[in-house]
Amino acid sequence: MYTTTPSYYTYDVTSTSAGVDFGVWGIIAMVIAFIAAILIYFLFVNSKTEVKGKFAKWLKDFLSFRIMWLEPILKMAYYFATIFIILTSFTFLQFGGYGVLYFFIMLIGGPILVRVCYEMVMLLVGIWRNTKDIADNTKKK
């Protein structure tokens, strides 16, 4: 009988298969990320920093979150979810009986439910956009 756990049941999460200590690399990565975040803030995001060039201006707007990617990503997720639900609703047709009822419920109700959820999330995006417009308009006066 075993008094200790066999080696194939133990797993050391602090090292990888290459033998590199993950804890040390984690600390090194944290220090590098901290230094990089400070440099990015003072070189691009800081409002006092003036950048030249089209790419540098785009990068400053991107890093300052003036360019939002959430809206196009949400739109693509909405299209994907709607098409996926419509296509998967056809799997209920193979069951017959109540399967046809479930097919119509999912075919009609699924996209409606996805649309309602999408619109609730887009309300937050709309609030952000309107708040940003109000803030931009009050700064100019």
Non-local (6+) Cβ contacts of 71 within 8 A are 122, 125
- In order along its 141 residues, the chain shows pLDDT tens digits of 556 655 555 555 555 555 556 688 888 989 999 999 998 888 877 777 777 888 888 888 888 887 788 888 999 999 999 999 999 999 988 877 888 899 999 999 999 999 999 999 999 989 988 998 898 888 765
Whole-number Å distance between alpha carbons of 139 and 141? 6
- Give the contacts of 110 (CB within 8 A, at least 6 positions apart): 82, 85, 86, 89
- Give the per-residue pLDDT at 108: 95
Residue spans of the domains in the chain: they are 1-64, 68-135
pTM, rounded to two decimals: 0.61
- What is the reported pLDDT for 112? 97
pLDDT at 25: 83
